[in-house]
Amino acid sequence: MATKTAIVKQLQGITLAGKTDSNNWVMMDGPENFGGSNAAIRPKELILLSLGGCTGSDVISILQKKKVPLEGFEIRISAETADEHPQVFTKIHLEYVFFGKNLSTKDLERAIELSQTKYCSVTAMLQKAVEITHSYKVEEKSTEQK
């Protein structure tokens, strides 16, 4: 069994810096009326990014192995929170958006399924506590996309 470690350090007020075994720092902060500087992402928002990053890297890797010619990819994430504290996420929806032409929907659906049911550890952890749904669509890459 592998052990992972992390450290979170106070910089000022509730402005925090965190680092894990990868030795990369991430900043976290809160609003000014809560003792923060409003200068970084909120800790709870990192959960959404973690989920998107985990499933996104799975889907990209699977599609690369299948030689699917993606021109771009993004995941649009929306979440509902409880009204009362601790204001946990109650529902999370992932919309996988694939950019390209003549993409096989079978390949896209299979990549999402494998990520959601087998590979994404963040999904596996979160789905025990929150409803996670997903959808996907294919778009031609717009000129605004990078």
pLDDT band at 140 (very low <50, low <70, confident <90, very high): confident
pLDDT band at 144 (very low <50, low <70, confident <90, very high): low
Residues 6+ apart with CB under 8 A from 70: 60, 63, 98, 99, 100, 103
SS (H, E, C) 97-116: EEECCCCCHHHHHHHHHHHH
Structural fold of domain 43-139: GMP Synthetase; Chain A, domain 3 (3.30.300)
pLDDT band at 142 (very low <50, low <70, confident <90, very high): low
Each residue of 78-123: pLDDT tens digit? 999 999 999 999 999 999 999 999 999 999 999 999 999 999 999 9
Task: Report how far residue 70's alpha carbon sits from residue 47's, in angstroms, rounded to the nearest whole number.
Answer: 26
Domain ranges of the chain: 1-41, 43-139
Residue 55: in which H helix or E strand, if any? Answer: helix 43-65
Residues 6+ apart with CB under 8 A from 24: none
Q: What is the pLDDT of residue 137?
A: 97
- Closest of 97, 84, 82 to residue 131, by C-alpha: 82
Here the tokens at position 57 are 């890297």
Each residue of 5-20: pLDDT tens digit? 999 999 999 999 999 9
**Residue 124: pLDDT above 70?**
yes
What secondary structure does DSSP assign to 11-52, as a single string? EETTEEEEEETT--EEEE---GGGT--S-S--HHHHHHHHHH
pTM value? 0.91
